[in-house]
Amino acid sequence: MKKIVLFLVIALFSGCSNTVEPPLIKELKIIGDLVHSLSINMDDLSEHTISDNKHLAISLQDVFENNELKCEQYNVMFVANDTLTNLIESDYDEVLVYVKDNKWHIHSDVFPPTLNLKDVNHLMFIKKQPTADDGVTLFSVSEDKHLITVGNHMSYGFETVLKLDGVSTKNTQTMHAYQQKTILPLSKLSDATSFLVFSYQGDHQYLSNDIFLLKKDTSFDVVDEDFNILVFDVAGILEDPPAHSIMDLYYDSEYYISNNIPIMIILVDGLGYHQFEYAKNNNIAPTITSLNPKIATSVYTPVTNAGMAAMLSGQSPLNNGVLNRRFRQIKTTTIFDLAKQNNASAVLLEGNINILDLNVDVKLHLDSNGNGTSDDEIFDSALQRMNDVDVLMIHFHSFDDAGHRYGPLAPQTMNRLTMLDTMINELLESWSKTTIIVSDHGMHQTSEGGNHGLISHSDMIVPYFIIP
């Protein structure tokens, strides 16, 4: 009987110009702890037998393989349109995503039958062990507090709210259109009175505590109460940020250069504030620990290129164009450009490679005495040149090298700081004018030693010394 009715309907419509198109199934979206959202399309499916019937389907294992993801790193959540939600942690080759009646469904013969969800809305891939790169790190100057990812956001009290999207009127009838937004007021997570928000694109913004995290498919934005985006694609949020950042170097140098006061800038690569405090508590570096540095923030990404570019330009990576190690060209004015404009002579003493393309006389140094570092050669070179230069920048690398190799607080790393401290003491005694000591980023412990480049208090908080 049904077949006859269907036939009649088709026959009736086939003669008309306004035919009803068969509904085309939309792709099934995959969101979560991913770089970009993914999807399963009809093209990805092939014929599988499910409960003795043939269906177009794909195994979850193949979804992972098609997208070059390692399935053992993820849990998978299935969210149905009626909000039923299931989560599994393994055996993805035993799970089929299939199409029936123009809807997406889940089937498995090995899991409990409740896994067999009907009318699935989306899949969520959740990292089993997320790292700072997978989400938003909320941290203070001395502690990493939360890592919020799209996959784990449910454990943070996000709320789904309606945002008025528009009002339209036809004759006397008015309609209000809304969009669902999933947000978290930062005040729910933190008592801080202000925040510094870092984005994956190198944005660096000081904001009040009246801000919200807005969840998207694979990332978060920071928005105000009217859902205006303040920071796009947030990487980290620092509670009660210090007043200083490594970008102060530009503005402090600008003052001295424009007043024709010579300045020595000592860049101790990879000296985090936590390492400085450790040295102070253990009487490791008497000269620098007797000084009273400011607590300063580095920039995202906390690596040498981005750190140096930010300190030399006074601009965030987003504005100066040097986001990470792939970039060398600063788009904005640097300290060395200011020196040129003021007819001040400037020299940068580097190790064996030039890190950025800069408008300055760069002197490279090799480890000629073979003691494992060129810092002593740089030090000698600084002593020789300091009487005939207005802006002298010295870049010591060995502390960062040791931090990578042995760990941020290892005795070998601290020995390097003692060595540098002796050199800095001599430089300060020989240079009677202003000195600024700065670091580009810190260092965190890894299983092999140390590294940096993540949003964490260890990598992002550094000391900043100004010795007038």
Binding interface with Zn ion (CB under 5 A)? 269-270, 304, 400, 440
Pairing of strands 434-438, 461-467: antiparallel
The closest residue (CB) to Zn ion is 304
We find the least distance from the C-beta atom of residue 334 to Zn ion, in angstroms, to be 17
Whether residue 339 contacts residue 346, with contact meaning beta carbons closer than 8 Å, is answered with yes
Whether residue 433 contacts residue 300, with contact meaning beta carbons closer than 8 Å, is answered with no
We find the least distance from the C-beta atom of residue 452 to Zn ion, in angstroms, to be 6
Name 26's Cβ contacts closer than 8 Å, sequence gap at least 6: none
Nearer to Zn ion, 74 or 399 (CB): 399
Four-point Cα dihedral 149, 155, 157, 159, nearest 10 = 60
Nearer to Zn ion, 134 or 400 (CB): 400
We find the least distance from the C-beta atom of residue 421 to Zn ion, in angstroms, to be 18
Nearer to Zn ion, 32 or 408 (CB): 408
Pairing of strands 103-108, 95-100: antiparallel
Nearer to Zn ion, 346 or 356 (CB): 356
Nearer to Zn ion, 231 or 306 (CB): 306
Nearer to Zn ion, 105 or 452 (CB): 452
> Phi and psi dihedrals of 170, rounded to 5?
-130, 120
Nearer to Zn ion, 135 or 317 (CB): 317
We find the least distance from the C-beta atom of residue 308 to Zn ion, in angstroms, to be 8
Nearer to Zn ion, 117 or 268 (CB): 268
Closest CA to 442 of 272, 217, 249: 272
We find the least distance from the C-beta atom of residue 440 to Zn ion, in angstroms, to be 4
Closest CA to 275 of 424, 418, 443, 397: 443
How far is residue 136's CA from residue 412's CA, in Å, rounded to a whole number?
A: 33
We find the least distance from the C-beta atom of residue 450 to Zn ion, in angstroms, to be 8
Closest CA to 128 of 39, 31, 33: 33
**Distance set, CA 292 to CA 235, 326, 433, 465, 467 (Å):** 30, 34, 18, 7, 9
Structure token pair of residue 421: 């401290």
Nearer to Zn ion, 116 or 301 (CB): 301
Nearer to Zn ion, 390 or 400 (CB): 400
**Distance set, CA 14 to CA 6, 21, 23, 267, 466 (Å):** 12, 11, 16, 78, 83
We find the least distance from the C-beta atom of residue 344 to Zn ion, in angstroms, to be 26
Nearer to Zn ion, 356 or 424 (CB): 356
DSSP track, 122-190: EEEEEESS--GGGSEEEE-SS-EEEEE-TTTGGGGT-EEEEEEEEEEEETTEEEEEEEEEEEEEGGGT-
We find the least distance from the C-beta atom of residue 266 to Zn ion, in angstroms, to be 14
We find the least distance from the C-beta atom of residue 73 to Zn ion, in angstroms, to be 26
Nearer to Zn ion, 58 or 323 (CB): 323
Closest CA to 375 of 394, 358, 403: 394
Q: How far is CA 161 from the centre of its chain?
A: 27
We find the least distance from the C-beta atom of residue 353 to Zn ion, in angstroms, to be 12
Structure token pair of residue 389: 């230069």
We find the least distance from the C-beta atom of residue 155 to Zn ion, in angstroms, to be 33
Whether residue 453 contacts residue 133, with contact meaning beta carbons closer than 8 Å, is answered with no
DSSP 329: B
Whether residue 127 contacts residue 141, with contact meaning beta carbons closer than 8 Å, is answered with no
We find the least distance from the C-beta atom of residue 299 to Zn ion, in angstroms, to be 12
Helix ranges (H only) for 25-142 are 60-66
